[in-house]
Amino acid sequence: MTQSAKLYFEDVELGDEIGPVVISVTDEQVVDFCSLWGNPAPNRFTDQEQAEKVGLAEPIVPGIMSMALVSRVLTDWAGAGTVLDLDLVFRGTIPHNQPLHVGVQISDTEQGETGNRVQCDITMTGPVPDRPYIIGTALLDLPSRQ
Amino acid sequence: MPTQIDYEYDHSLYGVEHESGPFPVTEEIVETYTRSVGEDNPIFTDRESARAAGYSNVVAPPTLCALFERGELPDIKLQFKGRQFHGGQRVEPRAPIMVGDTLTASSHLKDVYTKTGRSGTMVHVVWETTFRNQDGAVVADVQRSQVVRE
């Protein structure tokens, strides 16, 4: 896969941590995303009343939008074209307009015929670090300097 | 393969592919997507930068295809009612998706299984979708887990 190199395999080591990168999602961003997704506002992601109707305390960030945010953190760090696999579990509802802490830790590296693979553990947390909104893994393929 | 489950649903859906699309990947879609998630890598936003990096056009961010995965899928007639939520998502990009591509999707029921925890029993319904571009090349595999909690 063609890559825009920001990071090389030789730059990373097992146990390295990236972040936490702090991001947040505005109401307007969620409305934009939902319109694209074929789920126009108002809905439980954009509207307080609609959210309460389905048992939510407030509008939430859609799961696939939160996945896009994690993907952004990875491509900001490693470059476009590096993500081979992103596997996320949504464990909690994600609020708008609040700091979201995305942490990435390298759990394995392997250089071989299939490429320069970097396995990462991923979390997204809010104010309570041990109650993550998202946990998961990513597999990246980084270019080599060799 | 399906795992043991305590709740009824339509098992005949296993092994059946459900086709959807076409999904044109337009400049407007990629632009709105990148703006809404704050993605500013020039490969995803600027044609000249994408070309300079070896791509033929602006590249879609890796998880954009998941937008299209939400197409109409059959009702599995699950005999377990409760609150539904999106429990997880997996995206495996196989080849770049670019502005100007037209994708089609082929989805099948991958698994239905239960988990019981402190909050009660949950049924996970997992659909797997393969996206192909206009040349028939596989560009991404996506798994979506929908959860029903009692």
- Please state, for a pLDDT cut of 70, what percent of chain A lies above it: 97
Does B82 reach chain A within 8 Å, measured CB to CB? no
The pLDDT score that the predictor gives to residue B132 is 98
Rg (CA), chain A: 17
**Above 60 in pLDDT, residue A141?**
yes
Residue A69 with chain B: CB contacts under 8 Å: 37-38
**Above 60 in pLDDT, residue A1?**
no
Read off the amino acid at residue B144. Answer: R
Q: Identify the residue whose tokens are 């089609």.
A: B104
The pLDDT score that the predictor gives to residue B117 is 82
pLDDT in tens, B62-96: 999 999 986 678 889 999 888 889 999 999 999 99
The pLDDT score that the predictor gives to residue B82 is 85
Compare A38 and B108 and report the one with higher pLDDT: B108
d(CA A115, CA B127): 29
- Please state, for a pLDDT cut of 90, what percent of chain B lies above it: 78
Residue A29 with chain B: CB contacts under 8 Å: 35-38
Does B113 reach chain A within 8 Å, measured CB to CB? no
* Inter-CA distances, B44 with B32, B53, B134, Å: 11, 11, 20
Confidence grade of residue A19 (pLDDT, cut at 50, 70, 90):
confident
The pLDDT score that the predictor gives to residue B100 is 98
Does B127 reach chain A within 8 Å, measured CB to CB? no
d(CA A48, CA A43): 9
Considering only CB atoms, B86 lies closest to which of A55, A63, A76, namely: A63
Confidence grade of residue B108 (pLDDT, cut at 50, 70, 90):
very high
The verdict on whether omega for the bond into residue A42 sits within 30 degrees of 0, i.e. cis, is yes
**Above 80 in pLDDT, residue B6?**
no
ipTM of the complex: 0.93
A137: Cβ contacts below 8 Å, ≥ 6 apart: A85, A86, A87, A107, A119, A120, A121, A122
The pLDDT score that the predictor gives to residue B4 is 52
Does A4 reach chain B within 8 Å, measured CB to CB? yes
Considering only CB atoms, A76 lies closest to which of B41, B63, B95, namely: B41
d(CA B107, CA A43): 26
pLDDT in tens, A65-118: 999 999 999 999 998 889 999 999 999 999 999 999 999 999 999 999 889 999
The pLDDT score that the predictor gives to residue B18 is 94
The pLDDT score that the predictor gives to residue A5 is 59
The pLDDT score that the predictor gives to residue B71 is 66
What tokens does B82 get? 């409760």
pLDDT in tens, A49-62: 999 998 899 999 99
Does A89 reach chain B within 8 Å, measured CB to CB? yes
A124: Cβ contacts below 8 Å, ≥ 6 apart: A66, A69, A70, A94, A100, A101, A102, A103, A132, A133, A134
**Closest Cα of chain A to B68: distance in Å?**
8
**Closest Cα of chain A to B22: distance in Å?**
15
* Inter-CA distances, B57 with B30, B53, B64, B102, Å: 11, 10, 15, 13
Does B81 reach chain A within 8 Å, measured CB to CB? no
d(CA B27, CA A146): 36
Mean pLDDT of all residues belonging to chain A = 92
The pLDDT score that the predictor gives to residue A41 is 86
Considering only CB atoms, A69 lies closest to which of B37, B64, B67, namely: B37
